[in-house]
Copies of this chain bind each other. A is one copy, B any other.
């Protein structure tokens, strides 16, 4: 299946207890596309950068057979920039700087050849921009997946609720699920959110794994891999979304049972991302390394109980 990825391509500057970076490449769509590229072979990326964005990175994306026709490059403008500092527990962070630059008036333009995708992955963006992108498509999508965050629940809840009407899968973290639903129990939160439009909900719990709910009251849990160190959590959720949608696209199967597998692949890609700063670890992984990582997840949770 073809995969259309819409989201930011940007610069980040990151401080963690392990070190700090200058401006490095980041952005939701960057992580998503790179993670997906290990599975899906037909990926179109729609985003915007300034002419300060390095051609070498664009070339790397192309080498990961990510089609960049939908990537607008704005002459004389600067790319979106975010800077943040993680606390010692790596679960909380302070934003040090946000420079919207080209993102301030981003109007995604989906190329003709990318208007009939089978899977759409909408990375975190203004909900109205996400909806505007969806409206350019020709209604062929079998699965629309949307990632968002608490920021939009704070300042654009009506628009977010509108775009949720057009979405099959929503991916958010546990605190965001509680905020969106007003329920503390994640089971109750999931039921409330599945009443807002999506047929599936993925609740990302970081180091505590992820839950997949569907509207038939089925639930699946995928663990996070216990790691010696989380070096830089930036992009973990986006890498998860990329592995998830990339695996679904590659296997051409959007059943609940296949979504379980896809969540394991997404979790595996996230576990790579956090091992180094930025997108470094997602570039140039071998298929053997990906398979070995997925096998670690299998070994971590599989047990043999037969109750019949």
Give me the interface of A with B, judged by CB distance under 8 Å: 88-89, 184-188, 205, 208-209, 211, 219-223, 226-229, 257, 260-261, 264, 291, 294-295, 298, 300-305, 307
Contact = CB atoms under 8 A, between A and B. Distances in A.
As for how many copies of this chain the complex holds, the number is 2
Contacts of A261: 303-305
Interface centre among A185, A229, A303, by most chain B C-beta atoms within 10 angstroms, is: A303
A208 B211 contact: no
A274 B257 CA distance: 30
Contacts of A305: 261, 264, 294, 298
Nearest to A228: B187
A81 to B, nearest CB: 30
A219 B224 CA distance: 12
Contact of A221 (B187, B211, B228, B301): B301
Contacts of A223: 209, 221, 223, 301
A205 B223 CA distance: 12
Given A208-B205, A226-B221, A228-B187, A260 B298 contact: no
A280 to B, nearest CB: 20
Given A187-B227, A221-B223, A261-B303, 9 more contacts: A88-B184, A89-B184, A188-B228, A209-B223, A219-B226, A220-B301, A261-B304, A298-B305, A301-B301
11 contacts: A88-B184, A187-B226, A209-B209, A209-B223, A220-B300, A220-B303, A221-B226, A261-B304, A264-B305, A291-B307, A301-B301
Contacts of A88: 184
Contacts of A226: 186-187, 211, 219, 221
Contact of A307 (B222, B298, B302, B307): B298
Contacts of A302: 302
Given A205-B208, A208-B205, A303 B260 contact: yes
Nearest to A229: B185
